[in-house]
Amino acid sequence: MDIKLPVGIQGFEKLRTDNFVYVDKTKYVYELAHNNVPYFLSRPRRFGKSLLVSTLKAYWEGKRELFKGLEIEKLEESNQEAWKKYPVFYFDFNGTSYSEKGALEKKLSFLLTEWEGEYQLESADNALSERFQLVIKKAYNLTGLRCVILVVEYDKPLLDVVDDPELMEHNKDVFKGFFSTLKSYDEYIQFIFITGVSKFHKVSIFSDLNQLTDISLNEKYASLCGITKEELVNTFSDEIRKLSDKQGLSIEDCIKHLIRRYDGYRFHQNGEGVYNPYSLLMAFFSGEFGDYWFETGTPTFLVSRIRESSFDLRKFTNGTIYASEAILKDYAGNSLDLIPLLYQSGYLTIKEYDATRRKYTLGFPNEEVKYGFLESLMPSYVPKATAGNGLDIFTLDDYIENGDLDGVRDVLSALFAGITYTVESDPFDYYFQAVVYLVFTLLGKYVLCEMHTYTGRIDCKVETKNYIYLFEFKRDDTASSALAQINSMDYALPFVADTRKLYKIGVSFDSSSRKLIGWEVEN
């Protein structure tokens, strides 16, 4: 029997009543509810945060029938206090644009008006925070139960206006006035759970609610969102079989493809890796290994900040992006530091951890993120590298596959000629490194291509069915010098017994003209 895949379903009640498949995470709901402390959780977009909070909402509203057959039903079996209907205040900041001043206040007022009607209060001209206080007290007095506060994507009103500092500060002030209510109303509150992609530590929701417990980097909750390998195999065995049949793969190879493309997120150094749930479900739904997470959009402000900061793109894959726990869990006000931003947004994840130095090493979680992210950067560095004009990666791949060295040279020459520099003082060295890295790393999506950046190793090695290419790139030097380095360092030695045709290619670029000026080949 085919199962119903909950693609785009974020409501727990709809998921359960309409018989969509559900990966049972209710043991975490039980633990969170019974610890009874205020929580904050940061996870990337499309990672199941809304579904998790919707599940918490159903639990606190006492909708026991929705949890029939799930793990929490057994856990609550002997609890006489379970399944009470608490007053729940559910803030979902999705689905609204906050790019205009006053949009956040309208959203909060809309929610308050609804709750004032539910708890028999007249909407007054009081400040939003005062209206919230009155609703909380009235809900407590009417029900005899303390209130539950659930907040989904609290940071959307801030991320929507990240390029408008004045409006961002305004929205922060709105939050400060509104959520500071909770700090002094602890006696009326049973449970608080707040989620978002980012944690802005200077936002009042955190500075005032200093009792919030951040579980974003907690080992116990590392698999709270996302899908583990065990959950994948146990829940989606039929879907894996159908996908493998459609793609002409064995079950084992199909799982390897899923791991390579969608697995690899780690939210604690000792935590189990998890799959991106959205991409996984879309792959099963469509029967294709697509780049689904990236189809939902990469923030343009993130791309522009990477370029503006002259960030060394080679760090993304050479294992030299480091962070402390404090960096991973926080932002420094408005600066939107790249490393925590990339980690919390899901573009980087934990790869290694040095316990002695308490140092995290970060990298791309999987191929979907790696290639999708780098493809989104390419137009910012080389706007002319678009499909159909002969400067795209597909065209370069064709030349590489066919041994057309003149074509490879022409593409590289044209790509560098097409670079747009922001100001005259921009260092050519940065663009040189960035474009070479982007071009050949993206080429690795289709052929075996390795970029090296360490002294004593070939700059780039490309392997196809019939050819091997060894590239050495020089700036303000000659192509002959680059070729001589390939020979003097015996870079071709590992391929002596290989029957494929091998090309050694020295390439030189000129900083003043910002052009490819030298190209020498030896085979």
Q: Are 304 and 289 in a shared domain? A: no
**Under a CB-based contact definition with an 8 Å cutoff, are residues 468 and 500 in contact?**
yes
Provide the CATH number for the domain around residue 188.
Answer: 3.40.50
Decide if 149 is inside a domain: yes
| pLDDT digits 0-9 by tens, 201-217 | 655 565 555 578 899 99
| Residue 6 placed within a domain | no
Residue 436 lies in a domain: yes
Residues 104 and 74 in one domain: yes
Same domain, yes or no: 359 and 432: no
Instruction: With respect to residue 438, please indicate whether it lies within any of the assigned structural domains.
Output: yes
Judge whether 393 lies within some domain.
Answer: yes
Whole-model pTM above 0.85? yes
Q: Are residues 271 and 311 in the same domain?
A: no
Last residue of a domain, one of 216, 242, 263: 216
Which of helix, strand or coil describes residue 501? strand
Q: Give a yes or no: residue 377 inside a domain.
A: no
Residues 320 and 440 in one domain: no
Residue 252 lies in a domain: yes
Task: Give the model's pLDDT for residue 388.
Answer: 67
In a domain, 40, yes or no: yes
CA-based nearest residue to 360, from 391, 309, 396, 324: 324
**What's the pLDDT score for residue 296?**
66
Q: Are residues 89 and 178 in the same domain?
A: yes
What is the pLDDT, as a whole number, of residue 333?
Answer: 46
**Which regions of the chain are under pLDDT 50?**
332-334, 423-425
Q: Do 306 and 211 share a structural domain?
A: no
- For 462-486, give the DSSP string: EE-SSEEEEEEEEESS-HHHHHHHH
One domain, residues 212 and 245: no
Assign 3-class secondary structure to 313-363: HHHHCCCCEEECHHHHHCECCCCCCHHHHHHHHCCCEEEEEECCCCEEEEE
Termini Cα distance of the chain: 58
**Do both 145 and 239 map to the same domain?**
no
64/97 same-domain check:
yes
The Cα angle at residue 226 between residues 224 and 152, in degrees rounded to 5? 65
Output the pLDDT for position 470.
Answer: 95
Q: Kindly state whether residues 389 and 515 are assigned to the same domain.
A: yes
Domain boundary among 216, 243, 276: 216
Q: Which domain holds residue 284?
A: 229-293
Number of domains in the chain: 4
Q: Which residues lie below 8 Å from residue 510, measured CB to CB, with a gap of 6+?
A: 475, 476, 517
Each residue's pLDDT tens digit, 171-192: 988 988 888 878 788 899 999 9
Asked if 63 and 115 touch (Cβ cutoff 8 Å), the reply is: no
Q: How far is the C-alpha of 304 from the C-alpha of 287, rounded, in Å?
A: 34
Q: Is the same domain home to 175 and 246?
A: no
CATH of the domain at 469: 3.40.1350
